[in-house]
Chain A
Amino acid sequence: MAFESFSAFLKMGEHGLYVWLAYGLATIVVLFNILGPRYLAKQLVKDHQRKLRREQA
Chain B
Amino acid sequence: MWQIFVRWFHKCSSPKWFYQMSKPWSFWLGWAAFVLIGVALVWGLAFSPVERVQGNSYRIIFIHVPSAFLSEAIYMTIAIAGAVGLIWRIKLAFYVAKACIPIGMTMAFLALATGAIWGKPTWGDWWVWDMRITSMLILFLLYLGLWALHNAMERPESGDRAAAILALVGVVNIPIIKYSVNLVTTLHQPATLKFTEKAPMHISMLVPLLLSILGFYLAFLAWMFIRARLEILKRERKALWAQKEIEQLGGL
Contacts and interface: CB of A to CB of B under 8 A. Distances in A.
28 contacts: A2-B46, A2-B50, A3-B46, A9-B45, A12-B57, A14-B55, A14-B56, A15-B57, A16-B56, A18-B60, A18-B118, A19-B56, A19-B57, A22-B63, A22-B117, A23-B41, A25-B114, A29-B109, A33-B103, A33-B106, A36-B227, A41-B249, A44-B246, A45-B249, A45-B250, A45-B252, A48-B247, A49-B252
In order of increasing CB-CB distance, the 4 nearest A-B pairs are: A45-B250, A12-B56, A15-B57, A15-B56
A45 B67 CA distance: 32
A57 interface: no
Interface residues of B, number: 41
Interface string B33-62: 000000001000111111000011101100
Contact of A48 (B47, B48, B109, B250): B250
Contacts of A25: 110, 113-114, 117
Given A12-B56, A32-B106, A44 B114 contact: no
The dominant DSSP class at the B interface is helix
Interface string B212-230: 0000000100010011001
A29 B106 contact: yes
A34 B55 CA distance: 33
Given A19-B45, A29-B67, A40-B230, 20 more contacts: A2-B48, A2-B50, A14-B55, A16-B56, A18-B60, A18-B117, A22-B64, A25-B113, A25-B117, A26-B63, A33-B106, A33-B219, A36-B102, A36-B227, A37-B227, A41-B230, A41-B249, A44-B230, A48-B243, A48-B246
B234 interface: yes
B233 A13 contact: no
B156 interface: no
Interface residues of A, number: 30
B10 interface: no
Given A12-B56, A18-B60, A40 B227 contact: yes
Interface in A1-53: 1-3, 9, 12-16, 18-19, 21-23, 25-26, 29-30, 32-34, 36-37, 40-41, 44-45, 47-49
Contacts of B56: 12-16, 19
Interface of A: 1-3, 9, 12-16, 18-19, 21-23, 25-26, 29-30, 32-34, 36-37, 40-41, 44-45, 47-49
A21 B237 CA distance: 42
A16 B227 CA distance: 35
Interface string B62-96: 01100100000000000000000000000000000
Contact of B114 (A13, A26, A49): A26
Contacts of B230: 37, 40-41, 44
